[in-house]
Amino acid sequence: MEDLRKAYLYIKGNNGNEVISFLETYREFDVNKLLDGYVEIIYEKDIDPEIFVKARKIAIEELYQDFIAFISPVKFDFRINEVLEVLPILNPGIYTIETFLPAIVLLNEAVLIAKLRDYYFNRFSSETIDTILGFINSNMNASKTAKTLYMHRNTLNYRLDNFINKTEIDVRKFKGAIAIYLLFKR
């Protein structure tokens, strides 16, 4: 069960059944219709997320239908219904957690932002979140961060690696760093 990933789609327009039928042709996907216009897709985590980009392109070109997809991190035990509520107001596209967080911050979804902050604070200690933010504020320079926070560089690297592994937000890269920065420093 651990090697499975979930993606959630909001199908824009009236004829979502065509898109669902199309998605069911992918042998890699287990497609489940949720609420009206919403679909849950379960697939093996090793499958390249680009498959959704290609599926979306085909849905637009052949079915004249578009969808918004959120590819959930494997170990994401956040209440997914709260994520589903904002999918219709996002720009069409494929969102990972690293692109979803900045999008909801820019849309000023204050309630969801607060709940996601709480989720990450509860999942990690405030010390870990402060370490991540210190790393970002130090221009993602590990040596400078370790000196600024008065910690051993190995401790810093352990906390960074632990956070990245558990969240799938790579704060060592720009996309991940900006996602966390916007979420917590708004």
> Average model confidence (pLDDT) for the chain?
92
| Distance of alpha carbon 186 from alpha carbon 112, whole angstroms | 13
Residue 15 has pLDDT above 80, yes or no: no
Q: How far apart are CA 94 and CA 108, in angstroms?
A: 19
Residue 186, pLDDT > 80, answer: no
Predicted TM-score (pTM) of the model is 0.90
Q: What pLDDT score does 105 carry?
A: 96
Q: Which residue has the tokens 């960074």?
A: 160
The domain made up of 4-95 has a fold known as Alpha-Beta Plaits (3.30.70)
Tell me what the mean pLDDT of segment 127-155 comes to.
Answer: 94
What DSSP element (H or E) covers 23? helix 16-23
Q: What is the pLDDT of residue 9?
A: 94
Neighbours of 48 (CB within 10 A): 9
For position 36, what pLDDT does the model report?
80
Q: Is the pLDDT at 42 greater than 80, yes or no?
A: yes
- 170: pLDDT strictly greater than 80: yes
For 94-106, write each residue's pLDDT tens digit. 999 999 999 999 9
Torsion from C-alpha of 159, 160, 166, 172, nearest 10 degrees: 170
Residue pointed to by tokens 């600024």: 148
Helix, strand and coil content of the chain, in percent to the nearest 5, comes to: 55, 15, 30
What mean pLDDT is predicted for residues 144-171? 95
What ranges do the domains of the chain cover?
Answer: 4-95, 116-185
Cβ-based burial of 19 (10 A; exposed 0-12, middle 13-18, buried ≥19):
buried
Contact 104, 112 (CB under 8 A): yes
Give residue 2's pLDDT.
Answer: 60
Q: Among positive and negative, which fits the CA dihedral 131, 133, 137, 139? A: positive
